[in-house]
Amino acid sequence: MNTKISFGNITLGFAVRRSIQKLWTYRVRRGNGFFGSNVGERYQDKYSYFVPTSITNTQSETYRVLYREAVSNWKSNLTEEEKREYNVRVQKGMHMSGYNLYIKEYILGLI
């Protein structure tokens, strides 16, 4: 017997990733061993639909501009050698890529 639940034309289940009629938002996440989850297990989350107030706040615009500049610089102004240097720096215990380190330092004004 098939007991799948559906909402409109969407079958709800273990891999739904979207918002439905601005009522509910579904996501799938992998367990990471934190917050009571089992490593590698997949979890389906459901929560009320909302639009974050921060997506249009003017205080964030400065950081959005800096982020766009940083990404553009990484893609077009850094040489492969410079990118490699960032990748070497993050191998010393940091949990991020050289690209992410560059973006972080650019936004913090360290570059």
Question: Does residue 7 or residue 35 have the better pLDDT?
Answer: 35
Number of Cβ within a 10 Å radius of residue 100: 14
Average pLDDT over the chain, rounded to an integer: 82
Token code pair at residue 84:
């490699």
Token code pair at residue 80:
């492969």
Question: Does residue 96 or residue 33 have the better pLDDT?
Answer: 96
> CA-CA distance, 71 to 99, in Å (whole number)?
9
User: What pLDDT band is residue 11 in, cutting at 50, 70 and 90?
Assistant: low
> CA-CA distance, 93 to 51, in Å (whole number)?
36
Question: Does residue 38 or residue 100 have the better pLDDT?
Answer: 100
Residue 19 pLDDT exceeds 70: yes
